[in-house]
Structure 1
């Protein structure tokens, strides 16, 4: 029986998330450490204004801190996964869970990543639901400056690029729903190249260890434990696609029978339920779930 832990990214945040974790010794220590590194309180942000919490600069560190605390609480109970994966920002939590880096290293990376991504401008992202995949792939191949940012499932993707290119694609591809995302830039696209280059310096200097359990990375959903390879994949993550649909298929092919979404919300569990009906699912987002 193989178990996977999966970690959600931006979009799963909610006011009130993680607040109960401050009642645990592990949570209290981590929240205090996070405040030292960030210069602001995760707990205060999570109890504050929804619009403020949804700003990239706050969302990403808050999610990483909360997911890391949940990892520690699960580990304390003697639970360990056989495989881990995270969606976009969630990949940092997955790397923490696999002991590739310590909490502070991960948070320093996430803090800088959030700053650089929130500073990027001039791009557009749109989520598409229920469409003809071959028509969509054909349009992406023929329209410059637009790419798959998140290939979430057979019938749910996010496209990213220049506003003109994204609008052109949306006019050519019929989808049941097209939902513009409230983000500053074209995340997970070549338009993030400048931010990615700035981030790479910090990433290359960070100390990574070989993973204790295999990780399915966003840009390459094949299991890996090598510190060098995992870092290389993370360097490419900011400009590359989140290949979540393939990650889910890898869970099945790797023989995973149970998957736990560690973090707020149930977005990933919902996607896995539809793509891999044979996998038993659970969610750990608060103390009660433990």
Structure 2
């Protein structure tokens, strides 16, 4: 039986995260490490105002911290993945879990990633929308009709995400709704996974330039190509590519199924990824279901 650990991306944050994850034995250690690296108390933001938490440079390290603690707690159960993958931001957590770099490097990188994304386009100029029940071929045709609009996330057969200029997103959502389709604008601060973020990718390239990536303990299925990689230089290249390029998540799941993965475990806050897999009738669990109440409170 082959297992894959899946790490969630932005949108999985929620106020109260720190309080909830503080029940895990490894929380205090990694929360303190995060505070030391970031230079501020990320746990206060994680338990604070939702609007402040959802700001990209706050949400990304918050999700990274919670997801990494989830990974540590899951491995304490003796569970090890055969493959790892992360959705967008979650790819950075997957790499840390696989030992490509350490926790401190990872949380530093996701904070910088968030900052650079925020700097690239002013809040309100870019947006994203989730689209449900539209075949991908038809969605690709719809997107071509709008200026500055791209498919950002190929999430599943049922749900995909478009991204780009805010005014185009609003028109797109209104027009699809009129046609009887379901499209919802997302509460995000920018047009993730589009060429509008090329500048952020270039800044991140300078950040990772002098960081030595190690060979991962587990092959990682990369968002940009939906294929497994173990070569550190290629991993670094495609990690940068996904900042301004699409996330091929459905294709990544399909690839893991081809490789023989028959159990997927979502490792992080909320259950966005496992919910999508359940809808597709794919065997999946959330890490929290693998840890008993007694174990959680063993300090």
- Regarding TM over 0.5, the answer is yes
Query: In structure 2, what is the Cα distance between the partners aligned to 1:98 and 1:41?
Result: 26
Q: Which residue of 1 aligns with 2:87?
A: 87
Give the corresponding residue for 2:136.
Answer: 133
Q: How does 1:255-266 map to 2 (within 5 A)?
A: 255-266=260-271
CA contact 1:61–1:110 (8 Å) conserved in 2: yes
Q: Deviations over 1:108-167 (max 9, x none)?
A: 100100111223322221111122433211233454421111111112111111234434
Q: How far does the alpha carbon of each residue in 1:184-232 deviate from its partner, in whole angstroms, 9 at most, with x for none? A: 2211000011111111100222221011111111111111111111100
| Match of residue 158 from structure 1 | 161
Q: Structure 2 vs 1, CA of residues 50 and 229 (structure 1 numbering), >3 Å: closer, same or farther? A: same
Offset at residue 25 of structure 1 (A):
4.7
Question: Could you list the runs of 5+ residues in structure 2 that have no partner in the other structure?
Answer: none
Structure 1 distance, partners of 2:161, 2:67, is: 23
Show structure 1 runs of 5+ residues with no match.
Answer: none
Contact 1:18 1:285 in 2 (8 A): no
- The answer to whether structure 1 residue 105 and structure 2 residue 135 are counterparts is no
1:179 aligned partner: 184
1:132–1:175 contact (8 Å) kept in structure 2:
no
Match of 2:127 among 110, 124, 132: 124
CA contact (8 A) 1:149 1:189 kept: yes
**Partner of residue 269, structure 1:** 274
* TM-score, scaled to structure 2: 0.89
**Could you tell me how far 1:175 is from its partner in structure 2?**
5.5
CA RMSD of aligned residues (A): 2.0
Name the counterpart of 1:237.
242
Contact 1:26–1:69 (8 Å) recurs in 2: yes
TM-score by length of 1: 0.92
